[in-house]
Amino acid sequence: MKGKKLIDPSDLTTTEIEDLIKLANQIIQNEEKYSKCCENKLLATLFYEPSTRTRFSFEAAMLRLGGKVIGFSEPNSSSVAKGESISDTIQTVCCYADIIAMRHPKEGSAYVAANASTVSFINAGDGGHFHPTQTLTDLLTISNLKGRLDNLVIGLCGDLKFGRTVHSLIKAMSRYQNITFIFISPEELQVPDYIKKEVLEKNKLKYDESTNLEEVISKLDILYMTRVQKERFFNESDYIRLKDMFILDLEKLKNAKKDLTILHPLPRVNEISTEIDDDPRAAYFKQAKFGMYIRMALILKFLGIEVD
């Protein structure tokens, strides 16, 4: 995978994903062994949009591998504020760094950046489009907590229109056997048509749509909650009307399976009541931790570093 570029989850084959999950688990079991293997390597994190987990987990991953990190979390502190194009910024950063992770509010920006990059490039989220490293995080979490990536009924709830983590996860899971999706959202925030046509219908995937979480919760093996993506709305009043339509609380969990796994890419706003946090089915903070390990594995593979 040396020198590879990751824009969309399908840029990785299922075998490559399996290898990344395996390596992440080896790192979890023996972190010390990997703590110096990126000693002379530099990661650049270019964040044109806010982030806590993605940026920190990338940076923590590189630092825990013994590497170094440069970058910005606020584009106005770089030449972006002077009007520099993405392509010029990337070509410049390639002079200094060995691998780049970039988040940008515009869909498609990751393609432009990846084309300009002469080093490994990772899309850390491009607008409402894709977020492949969150998906790798989700896959490691599901694989470790469920013991499988097939034969699952997955409920995705919340903002399925603008949520890039949702689009990426659907795309990635569509390659495994016997996956059923249940999409739970207000009508205005349903999964976009291009995902339905190009991913779900093309691969003959089973899916249902619902506007009522309680009605479907008993069927689910995984419930993936998401925040309504305020920053992608054109109109504040629509956001206010839709933002609290789905709030998961203990009452709603009553009919859920005992071994349901509740995931959320975070940040949470209101959509999961904090009373759920102590329920053994709540796995979103474990998921955030897995995010660092899968990024450690990804950095090693993309830099072509083998540890035996």
Smallest distance, ligand NCD to C-beta of residue 263, A:
11
Measured distance CA(238)–CA(225) in Å, rounded: 20
Smallest distance, ligand NCD to C-beta of residue 291, A:
7
Measured distance CA(248)–CA(275) in Å, rounded: 9
Question: Closer to ligand NCD at the Cβ: 34 or 58?
Answer: 58
Residue 23 contacts residue 297 (beta carbons within 8 Å): yes
Smallest distance, ligand NCD to C-beta of residue 103, A:
7
SS3 48: coil
Smallest distance, ligand NCD to C-beta of residue 134, A:
5
Smallest distance, ligand NCD to C-beta of residue 118, A:
26
Question: Closer to ligand NCD at the Cβ: 3 or 267?
Answer: 267
Smallest distance, ligand NCD to C-beta of residue 223, A:
16
Measured distance CA(31)–CA(83) in Å, rounded: 41
Smallest distance, ligand NCD to C-beta of residue 39, A:
28
Measured distance CA(154)–CA(219) in Å, rounded: 9
Given phi > 0 = left and psi -120 to 50 = alpha, else beta, which region is 120?
A: beta
Residue 196 contacts residue 129 (beta carbons within 8 Å): no
Smallest distance, ligand NCD to C-beta of residue 170, A:
14
Question: Closer to ligand NCD at the Cβ: 34 or 133?
Answer: 133
Question: Closer to ligand NCD at the Cβ: 34 or 169?
Answer: 169
Question: Closer to ligand NCD at the Cβ: 89 or 134?
Answer: 134
Question: Closer to ligand NCD at the Cβ: 52 or 203?
Answer: 52
Nearest-CB residue to ligand NCD?
265
Helix count (H) and strand count (E) of the chain? Answer: 11, 10
Location of structure tokens 């219908």 = 201
Question: Closer to ligand NCD at the Cβ: 51 or 117?
Answer: 51
Q: What's the number of CA atoms in the CB half-sphere (13 Å) around residue 94?
A: 17
Location of structure tokens 């995080």 = 137
Q: How far is CA 236 from the centre of its chain?
A: 26
Location of structure tokens 């293997």 = 37
Location of structure tokens 């093309």 = 202
Q: What distances in angstroms separate CA 109 from CA 135, 201, 210, one per listed residue?
A: 19, 27, 32
List the alpha helices (DSSP H) in the chain: 14-29, 53-64, 86-93, 109-116, 132-146, 164-173, 193-195, 213-216, 236-242, 250-253, 284-303
Question: Closer to ligand NCD at the Cβ: 54 or 143?
Answer: 54
Neighbours of 69 (CB within 10 A): 18
Please work out, in degrees rounded to the nearest 5, the angle formed at the alpha carbon of residue 297 by the alpha carbons of 296 and 299.
Answer: 65
Question: Closer to ligand NCD at the Cβ: 41 or 167?
Answer: 167
Residues at the site binding ligand NCD, with contacts judged by CB under 6 A: 53-54, 125, 131, 134, 164-165, 226-227, 265-267
Smallest distance, ligand NCD to C-beta of residue 252, A:
20
